[in-house]
């Protein structure tokens, strides 16, 4: 799985190791870092709305860097980044928020250990 550092999280808040540690704690998951990890994907709040051409170029560059790691999926800890990266991928690939990935893992484990499908219960909650 390739990981995209959300700009605000990485640069403004200096949080890079915690999301990686969380993802690396998932058994069997290999975390891949793209070249130019520090490069913004082009979403940047409303930047992609105000400067669509420049944002699209950043999005294409970030998506290419992520795809270059040959991942099965991409994780990005910002919803705007998830949308921007997915929009610029040259081939279909899941782009997930790390919490979405963890929720899927928990659901799968619950079904495996209890035989109970939590999706219905989650929708009712």
d(CA 118, CA 109): 10
User: What span, in angstroms and rounded, lies between the C-alpha atoms of 56 and 33?
Assistant: 21
Cα torsion angle, 67, 69, 73, 75, sign: negative
Q: Which pLDDT score is estimated for 31?
A: 95
**CB burial string 17-33: b at 16+ within 10 A, e below:** eebbebbeeeeeeebee
pTM value is 0.83
Going edge to edge, which strands form the sheet with 74-76? 2-4, 74-76, 95-96
CB 43 within 8 A of CB 15: no
Interval 10-63: pLDDT, tens: 888 998 899 999 999 988 899 999 999 999 999 988 899 999 999 999 999 999
Secondary structure (3-state) at 113:
helix
**Residue 92 scores a pLDDT above 50:** yes
* CA neighbor of 88 nearest in space, from 19, 39, 16, 22: 39
């Amino acid at each position: 799985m390739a990981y995209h550092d959300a700009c605000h999280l990485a640069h403004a808040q200096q949080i890079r190791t915690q999301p990686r540690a969380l993802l690396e704690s998932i058994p069997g998951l290999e975390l891949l870092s793209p070249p130019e990890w520090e490069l913004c994907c082009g979403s940047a709040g409303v930047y992609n709305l105000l400067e669509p051409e420049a944002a699209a170029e950043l999005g294409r560059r970030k998506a290419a860097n992520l795809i270059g790691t040959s991942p099965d999926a991409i994780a990005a800890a910002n919803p705007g980044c998830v949308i921007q990266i997915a929009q610029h991928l040259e081939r279909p690939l899941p782009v997930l928020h790390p919490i979405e990935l963890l929720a899927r893992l928990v659901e799968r484990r619950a079904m495996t250990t209890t035989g109970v499908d939590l999706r219905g219960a989650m929708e009712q909650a």
